[in-house]
Amino acid sequence: MTKKSRLCLVDGSSYLYRAFHALPSLTSGDGQPTGAIFGVANMVRRMLEHYEPDYVAVVFDAPGKTFRHETYAEYKATRPPMPDELRSQLEPLHELIDAMGLPRLVIEGVEADDVIATLTRQAREAGRPVLISSGDKDLAQLVADGVVLEDTMQDKQYDPGLVEEKFGVGPELVADLLALTGDSSDNIPGVEKVGPKTAAKWLKQYGNLDGVIEHADEIGGKVGDNLRGGLEQLKLSRELVELEDSVELEGGLEALKRGEPDRERMIALLKRFGFSTWLKQYTDDAGDSAASGDELVVETVTTKRQLDALVEALQSADLIAFDTETTSLEPLDADLVGFSFAVEAGKAWYVPLAHADQDNEFSADEAIEALRGIIEDDDRPKVGQHLKYDLNVLERAGIALGGIEHDTMLESYTYHSSGTRHDMDSLATRYLGRQTTSYETVAGKGKKQVTFDQVPVATAAEYAGEDAEVTLALHQHLWPKLEKLEGPSRVYRELEIPLIPVLARMERTGVALDVDVLAAQSAEIEKRLDELVEAAHAAAGQAFNLGSPKQLQEILFEQLGLPVKRKTPKGQPSTAEDVLQELAVEGHELPNLILEHRGLAKLKNTYTDRLPERIHPRTGRVHTHYHQAVAATGRLSSTDPNLQNIPIRTPEGRRIRKAFVAPPGTVLLAADYSQIELRIMAHLSGDERLLAAFAEGEDIHQATAAEVFGLEIDAVDDNQRRAAKAINFGLMYGMSAWGLSRQLELPRNEAQEYIDRYFDRYTGVRDFMQETRERARKQGYVETLFGRRLWADEIRSRNNQRRQAAERAAINAPMQGTAADIIKRAMIDVDAWIQSGDVPAKLVMQVHDELILEVDEGALESVREGVVDRMQHAAELKVELLVEANSGPDWETAH
């Protein structure tokens, strides 16, 4: 008997939704939305290429109710109706699938899942292997020997073993598990507080759902009560998640034989949708259907001849896409394992350098020397994805990456900073509709993960080659779009790209930390925490975990009966700081103890105990990572550790800055922009009063108080100044009366009065804000002074809260974003100055409006002047940019 060919079942409906949400909203020339059609069709094409099945079915949900709605009226009740933009793509997609020669099934009264279940059962009975392609995890219950579930968008194939790994139970128990946990997208309730972990544990213990129900009495705790209370619903949920595998279908499996594409219809449809690349394939290579096209050939370079040929090819390229493979995501620990290159679509090279199984004619050093001239050449433009990483890795390997011309991560970020992450996988999906091989599929994951040098060369080459080739494709897609936008492309060329080496250097440099200072503080805090716990337990009359907001709620509001001041978004009584403060003022003892405990525990857990763990064993310093494509406003962010939220506002907190030190012979210089965002607001709004106040060098909060309260400037008291400061602060966050009233502990109407008076006095600011709001609504984005575009994604949301949040963000964005642009310019300039000559200083940190440098003692004055001057002249505004710079042996003193 010959081996029977595989039946491929595609869950069209699940991919339709996912493609619709994951892909940009494409439209064809005549305005027909085509994004979801494109996504699903591409997915199907990839499946066809990969499996070349003779039997296929693309299955869709039928419109209208199903038998599940009769069982359970609430079924899918929380799901919003299908958006028009998606609905209008359904019929054209069906046409396209028909034209591709693929059997399509839409069966009234049942869902796509049930049709797939039925076909799977029939195929198994006929001894035919099955591949189910779906983004819907419910279908995992169908997996068995000979039945694989593939999630194309995640590039995962679930066999029984992987299902067990993912769900904690085998396929036969997946329906039981889903009944217990519920499925929010179908509005099927589960047992409250039971997640996948608990459900899997129970099912293992009692065999199956019936076992769990039988033994419900034995399960203790709150979840046990929840389980017993929900038994009826549980049985119903079980019925709903079970797939129906006896749907009546005409024609049997033979009806699913794949047909030939209808060329005429295909060409007509592809033209209509404007899918030009696909159309071109169709008209170019008439005979060979959709198969060819995005195939990638990766050449593994192992002989000297190949290496020479590669060098030659790179020498004649206008632009080289480049990627490094390494042993670690942490550049400071990463050893080179290989290089990949691409200079045209469909072709890539991989040069293995340190694979366990490699067998090259040349040594790694010989390969590096052969390529060094090209990699280091400033006149050979390169494009990469997140080149800061490669730059640091190469630096460690003694190679100085030159010619950093383009970075696809930054192209995407400056083109549209929000709405998507900017890692390669996200970009390939979003902009190319391509699903790239994940790192996990080549290197394994969890315990089984190996470092890249252990990955066989053959596997590594496919993966690495794809990275370089996709990077090139992304650049070819993104750059023409970005280049057309004058402002964003300027920000990209003049700020983001030049900043790459500056940040790379700062990360490599790191900052010195005095562990003894932190250890001493940790010990002090620990002692005080013990006292506080004891006192709190005494005050509560029982022991409890002070760090648990849940237990705290119980103690405060139920045991002690204190008044509930506010609720969290989820309806729990809030125990947030301001709430506790209010309770403390009312004379309760416990809230104060809690407040102090929380503050100190945070300090210890986040800073004094953790920072020393971050010291790198080789350098003895702390190396943060600056992220250049995360914050929507253009700011940097910092992680591992975050050095941009080191405490300063309280004395105990500020002490932590004592631990950030300069090594002997050097001092720390901390230079920060004073009131930079308000100054930018003065510039952008052109408000006369605000400009005048800055020009006169007045204390800006005092000046604001004088205006708002109608006083002479010298008559302003501390309280009035504090209120004015809160107003100024609030302004930059798009202030609402609600926010200000909370901040100042004032009634709403009084806060509103302050705001009104402010806008009466500062009419330029008022008009500017109104214009900004309108501009955001009209064009969907606002701009910084340097032309960076900041998109207000939800500005037209019908949800009031979301829309208003987007409006506030849009008002804040030009100021925060311009400040970010300015300090980036300053960093580039200061770094260039330091690198150009004998300036004995290093940039070590950036905290949004502050630069911290490590400076040789002897050169302090000249460096201070040089830094301040460059920061002040990073932009020419209608007001002067004021920079304050101080120095000292540690960050606290320097501030």
Partner DNA sequence: CCAGATGA
Partner DNA sequence: TCATCTGG
Taken in order 726, 727, 731, 732, the sign of the CA dihedral is negative
SS3 for 127-150, per residue? CCCEEEECCCHHHHHHCECCEEEE
CB 110 within 8 A of CB 63: no
Nearest CB to DNA, comparing residues 352 and 817: 817
Taken in order 300, 305, 308, 310, the sign of the CA dihedral is negative
Rounded to a whole number of angstroms, the CA Rg of the chain reads 31
Nearest CB to DNA, comparing residues 117 and 199: 199
DSSP state of 182: -
User: CA-to-CA distance for 536 and 550, rounded, in angstroms?
Assistant: 16
Beta partners for 819?
none
Nearest CB to DNA, comparing residues 322 and 607: 607
Nearest CB to DNA, comparing residues 401 and 813: 813
Beta partners for 890?
661
Nearest CB to DNA, comparing residues 340 and 816: 816
Nearest CB to DNA, comparing residues 330 and 856: 330
Can you read off the two tokens belonging to residue 737?
């009366």
Nearest CB to DNA, comparing residues 132 and 646: 646
Rounded to a whole number of angstroms, the minimum distance from the CB of residue 184 to DNA is: 11
User: CA-to-CA distance for 875 and 788, rounded, in angstroms?
Assistant: 15
Rounded to a whole number of angstroms, the minimum distance from the CB of residue 13 to DNA is: 23
The answer, yes or no, to whether the previous bond of 641 is cis (omega within 30 of 0) is yes
Of 262, 310, 498, 470, which is closest to residue 384 (Cα–Cα)?
470
User: CA-to-CA distance for 598 and 522, rounded, in angstroms?
Assistant: 14
DSSP state of 890: B
User: CA-to-CA distance for 640 and 359, rounded, in angstroms?
Assistant: 37
Nearest CB to DNA, comparing residues 243 and 611: 611
Residue 618: left (phi > 0), alpha (psi -120 to 50), or beta?
Answer: alpha
Question: Cβ contacts of residue 534 below 8 Å, gap of 6+?
Answer: none
Rounded to a whole number of angstroms, the minimum distance from the CB of residue 446 to DNA is: 17
Rounded to a whole number of angstroms, the minimum distance from the CB of residue 77 to DNA is: 20
Backbone angles phi, psi at 573, to 5 degrees: -65, 130
Side-chain-side CA neighbours of 445 within 13 Å: the count stands at 8
Amino acid type, 12: G
Beta partners for 625?
639
Rounded to a whole number of angstroms, the minimum distance from the CB of residue 197 to DNA is: 12
Question: Cβ contacts of residue 345 below 8 Å, gap of 6+?
Answer: 469, 472, 473, 476
Nearest CB to DNA, comparing residues 21 and 305: 21
Nearest CB to DNA, comparing residues 473 and 883: 883
Rounded to a whole number of angstroms, the minimum distance from the CB of residue 468 to DNA is: 27
Nearest CB to DNA, comparing residues 353 and 894: 894
Helix (H, G, I), strand (E, B) or coil at 354: coil
CB 36 within 8 A of CB 52: no
Nearest CB to DNA, comparing residues 559 and 645: 645
**Residues that bind DNA in the complex, under the rule CB under 7 A:** 418, 545, 547-551, 568-570, 572, 574-577, 580, 595, 598-599, 602-603, 605-606, 610, 627, 630-633, 637-642, 644-650, 653, 733-734, 805, 808-809, 812, 816, 847-850
Rounded to a whole number of angstroms, the minimum distance from the CB of residue 883 to DNA is: 13
If you write DSSP's letter for every residue of 221-254 in order, what string do you get?
A: HHHHHHHHHTHHHHHHHHHHHSPP-----SSTGG
Nearest CB to DNA, comparing residues 208 and 637: 637
Rounded to a whole number of angstroms, the minimum distance from the CB of residue 726 to DNA is: 12
Nearest CB to DNA, comparing residues 338 and 591: 591
- For the CA atoms of 798, 804, 809, 811, the dihedral, rounded to the nearest 10 degrees, stands at 120
Residue 555: left (phi > 0), alpha (psi -120 to 50), or beta?
Answer: alpha
Rounded to a whole number of angstroms, the minimum distance from the CB of residue 176 to DNA is: 22
Nearest CB to DNA, comparing residues 270 and 580: 580
User: CA-to-CA distance for 677 and 105, rounded, in angstroms?
Assistant: 59
Rounded to a whole number of angstroms, the minimum distance from the CB of residue 103 to DNA is: 36
Helix (H, G, I), strand (E, B) or coil at 633: coil
Rounded to a whole number of angstroms, the minimum distance from the CB of residue 545 to DNA is: 6
Rounded to a whole number of angstroms, the minimum distance from the CB of residue 854 to DNA is: 19
> Burial of 73 by CB count in 10 Å (0-12 exposed, 13-18 middle, 19+ buried)?
exposed
> Which is it for strands 850-856 and 660-661: parallel, antiparallel or unpaired?
unpaired
Nearest CB to DNA, comparing residues 507 and 850: 850
Rounded to a whole number of angstroms, the minimum distance from the CB of residue 82 to DNA is: 24
CB contact burial 183-214 (16+ within 10 A = b; e otherwise): beebebbbbeebebebbbebbeebebbeebbe
Rounded to a whole number of angstroms, the minimum distance from the CB of residue 697 to DNA is: 21
Question: Cβ contacts of residue 291 below 8 Å, gap of 6+?
Answer: 48, 49
Nearest CB to DNA, comparing residues 157 and 574: 574
- For the CA atoms of 742, 743, 747, 752, the dihedral, rounded to the nearest 10 degrees, stands at -110
C-alpha distances (whole Å) from 318 to each of 371, 381, 494, 702, 820 are: 16, 7, 21, 58, 33
Rounded to a whole number of angstroms, the minimum distance from the CB of residue 599 to DNA is: 5
Nearest CB to DNA, comparing residues 284 and 577: 577
Rounded to a whole number of angstroms, the minimum distance from the CB of residue 769 to DNA is: 13
Rounded to a whole number of angstroms, the minimum distance from the CB of residue 99 to DNA is: 39
Rounded to a whole number of angstroms, the minimum distance from the CB of residue 233 to DNA is: 22
